[in-house]
């Protein structure tokens, strides 16, 4: 009986010792470029830090649990990048912080960009969280299939699409409130032919046509080129 108790004590001690030996992580990372441009893909590299779990916060509401993720920004400004590194048992944490400055639009020289700002019709009131889809032809636009890309307007009512071809794009927009409400499908809202190496900006004007005060139905009324 004493012998069994001795072995149990030894095993318990070993378990406690192994648990306490969980390696303490040290958070550290580098950025491919600490000054980036809007739409540019930025790479984040976690250094060898004895970490088991990584949690990135990019400063724009987006996060990642990859070891060394990539991210792009839709708006200019200064963003605080936070990397939290955790040990295997989760009892130890280390945090590293850096600031990334995002400047004007980034467009590859052989590609075009499309910037869109959504407003309520006849006002200067922007529409945030508005979903915008772009298509290369009327058929796809009409059937709502094969979109080139889709994004959601930020708090400034803006979206930037990058790496586009030098063609005309058809645009749909909808806003989620109570239900999904698509833009006016009877009219094809489209851009002019985009120019390589620059971002062409357009204003979209939408109108709430709902008669129910508890929901909003936004329909595109007009689209026009904008100076940015």
- Mean pLDDT over the full length of the chain: 78
Q: Matching CATH topology for 2-105 and 112-226?
A: yes
**Confidence band, pLDDT 50/70/90 cuts, at residue 147:** very high
> What local confidence, expressed as pLDDT, does residue 173 receive?
79
pLDDT of residue 136: 94
DSSP for 65-76 reads -SSS-EE--SS-
Cα(170)–Cα(163) distance, rounded to whole angstroms? Answer: 16
Band of residue 168 on the pLDDT scale cut at 50, 70, 90? very high
Decide if domain 2-105 falls under CATH 3.20.20.10. no
pLDDT in tens, 64-123: 998 888 888 888 889 999 999 998 887 788 899 999 998 876 566 678 889 999 888 778
Q: CATH classification of 112-226, choosing from 2.60.40.420, 2.60.40.10, 3.40.50.2300, 2.40.50.140?
A: 2.60.40.10
Entry pTM? 0.51
Beta pairing partners, 112 = 164
DSSP code at position 144: T
DSSP characters for 154-201?
-TTSEEEEEEE-SS--EEEEEEESSSEE---TTS-EE-----TTSEEE
Q: Is 110 exposed, middle or buried (0-12, 13-18, 19+ CB in 10 A)?
A: exposed
123-144, pLDDT tens digit by residue? 888 888 888 889 999 889 888 8
Predicted local distance difference test score (pLDDT) of residue 149 = 92
pLDDT at residue 99 in the model: 93
> Where along the chain do its domains lie?
2-105, 112-226
pLDDT computed for residue 85 by the predictor: 92
Q: What is the pLDDT of residue 120?
A: 83
Neighbour count for residue 185 (Cβ, 10 Å): 13
């Amino acid at each position: 009986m004493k012998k069994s108790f001795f072995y149990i004590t030894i095993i318990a001690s070993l378990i406690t010792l192994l648990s306490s030996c969980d390696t303490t992580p040290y958070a550290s990372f580098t950025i491919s470029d600490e000054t980036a441009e809007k739409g540019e893909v930025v790479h984040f590299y976690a250094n060898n830090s004895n970490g088991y779990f990584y949690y990135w916060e990019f400063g724009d509401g987006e996060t990642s649990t990859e070891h060394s993720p990539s991210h792009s920004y839709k708006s200019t400004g200064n963003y605080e990048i936070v990397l939290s590194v955790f040990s295997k048992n989760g009892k130890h944490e280390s945090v590293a912080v850096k600031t990334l400055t995002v400047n004007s639009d980034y467009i590859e020289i052989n590609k075009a960009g499309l910037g869109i700002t959504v407003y309520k019709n006849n006002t200067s009131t922007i529409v945030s969280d508005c979903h915008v889809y772009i298509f290369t032809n009327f058929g796809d636009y009409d059937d709502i299939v094969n979109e080139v890309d889709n994004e959601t307007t930020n708090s400034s009512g803006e979206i930037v699409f990058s790496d586009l071809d030098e063609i005309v794009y058809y645009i749909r927009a909808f806003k989620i409130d109570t239900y999904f409400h698509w833009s006016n499908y009877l009219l094809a809202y489209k851009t002019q032919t985009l120019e390589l190496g620059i971002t062409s900006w357009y204003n979209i004007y939408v109108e709430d046509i709902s008669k129910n005060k508890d929901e909003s139905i936004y329909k595109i009324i007009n689209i026009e080129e904008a100076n940015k």
